[in-house]
Amino acid sequence: MTVRTVHEPGRGWLLRLVIAFALAQGAVSMARPAVSYRALALGADARAIGVITGVYALLPLLAAVPLGRRTDHGRCAPLLLLGVVLIAGGCALSGRAGTLTAMAAWSGVMGLGHLCFVIGAQSIVARRSAPAEQDRDFGHFTIGASLGQLIGPIAAGYLISERDGAMARTSALALLVSAAVAAVSLGALRRVEQRSAPAAHRAERSAKVPVGRILRARGVPAGIFVSLAVLSATDILTAYLPVVGEHRGIAPATVGLLLSLRAAATIACRLVMTPMLRVLGRTALLTTTCLLAGVVCAAIALPVPVALLAVMLAVLGFCLGVGQPLSMTTVVRAAPPEARSTALALRLTGNRLGQVAAPASAGLLAGAAGTAAPFVMLGALLLAAAGLGARGGRRDREAGADPAAPADPAPGRSRADRGRTPTPPPRSGR
């Protein structure tokens, strides 16, 4: 049996999902720098920060595909609830931890909760959005993440103080507050998924699509790599800007404002992404923004004044805002319809692989070449993503496809029919 996607009228579900995502992501974005500051207060060096940041992604790396399989065969809402519980628990227990080992373990729990929430939420958007609306809906959905990334670091910077040796206590307070923020998101999760969703979306377990077939679908590998590069840049920026601030004498509150400025620029990008797509096309927009982001990210390694650093982070945030929603749409459209949640989980597996490898590499680079070296590495990664995006667009043109146009949601339909929302097949009566 083939999975059927149900497109619902009204967008209240998307607004509630964006609010819940903003709160959950805000909790994580508040907790990530707080974990770094608390680890520093407990005696961690740059290498230890890299390990703790990598453990955040380790459990999700192992769990993503099984969770995606489960979501392809059932409801998404239970994953959202589990995700919130794990995020809140990981934040609270990180605040109570007294050793670096315990902090790394609870950071992993927090990462697993974030993965559960994101897989469930992205699958809901994929199921409830018509093909012609996926770019817009995924763009609006990721505004929730950017709002959380905007508010979280400001709140962390406001709560954390290094005066008179208070960093251990104030960073613990920030982690406990982030746990409370995550718990509040439960109130926004009502009715984001229809009660009839299991009947509409359940597929027979014998019809599982092999992972190899999903990864061979044209567009899926490129979408995964672009997402990996963009998320690695955002993640390491969040984890290592506090370390850079410590070395350059930038106060935690100022670091929080800089991280939030980056998030605000990402929100601005996603609000205007639809007209940018119309003007530039998907390939040109993705390639240009990754290229510019790579150059700016590498330039953060320079000892520039705080005012210029703020401008650089605003430009970087705007450019990074393109990659995530477009990579979601790319993966959803390229994957077989009955394996879209698994494909999104594979994309998240790539993200978490980057979140394991990039911080570990960043920690080694920071220990050997200084705290600014990880940003040079990220710049190179983003330049590689730009090259992959340009190459994919060139292959599409050689194959006769228009990379700027939306993918055909129903292969085999006439060109005149493309772009129309397909009529759902009649229900079988079950």
Contacts of 61 (CB under 8 A, 6+ apart): 349, 352, 353, 355, 356
Assess contact for 107 and 52: CB atoms under 8 A. Answer: yes
Tell me what the mean pLDDT of segment 67-85 comes to: 81
Query: What is the chain's percent helix, strand, coil content, to nearest 5?
Result: 80, 0, 20
Return the pLDDT at 6. 46
Report the amino acid identity of residue 407.
A
Token pair for residue 20? 């819940």
Under the banding of pLDDT at 50, 70 and 90, the label for residue 407 is very low
Looking at the chain, the whole-number percentage of residues with pLDDT higher than 90 is 10
User: What's the distance, Cα to Cα, between the start and end of the chain in Å?
Assistant: 13
Return the pLDDT at 396. 52
The pLDDT mean for the chain works out to: 77
Identify the residue with better confidence: 230 or 360: 230
130: number of Cβ within 10 Å = 15
| Alpha carbon distance 369, 377 (integer Å) | 12
Task: Choose among 56, 91, 51: nearest CA to 182.
Answer: 91
Assess contact for 42 and 168: CB atoms under 8 A. Answer: yes
Contacts of 180 (CB under 8 A, 6+ apart): 88
| pLDDT tens track for 29-42 | 899 888 888 888 88
Task: Decide if pLDDT at 204 tops 50.
Answer: no
Task: Choose among 366, 111, 109: nearest CA to 242.
Answer: 366
Task: Decide if pLDDT at 413 tops 50.
Answer: no
Assess contact for 325 and 138: CB atoms under 8 A. Answer: yes
Assess contact for 343 and 221: CB atoms under 8 A. Answer: no
- Helices 100-128 and 340-369 sit at what angle, rounded to 10 degrees? 150
| Alpha carbon distance 334, 344 (integer Å) | 11
Highest mean pLDDT: which of 206-220, 315-329, 409-423? 315-329
Assess contact for 139 and 274: CB atoms under 8 A. Answer: yes
| Alpha carbon distance 368, 46 (integer Å) | 10
Assess contact for 337 and 284: CB atoms under 8 A. Answer: no
| Alpha carbon distance 342, 96 (integer Å) | 35
| pLDDT tens track for 254-286 | 888 888 888 888 888 888 888 888 888 877 888
Residue with tokens 């994957």: 335
Q: How far is CA 352 from CA 58, 289, 349, in A?
A: 7, 22, 5
Q: Hey, is 251 helix, strand or coil?
A: coil
Under the banding of pLDDT at 50, 70 and 90, the label for residue 409 is very low
Q: Which of 149-158, 240-249, 350-359 is the least confident region?
A: 350-359
Identify the residue with better confidence: 425 or 58: 58
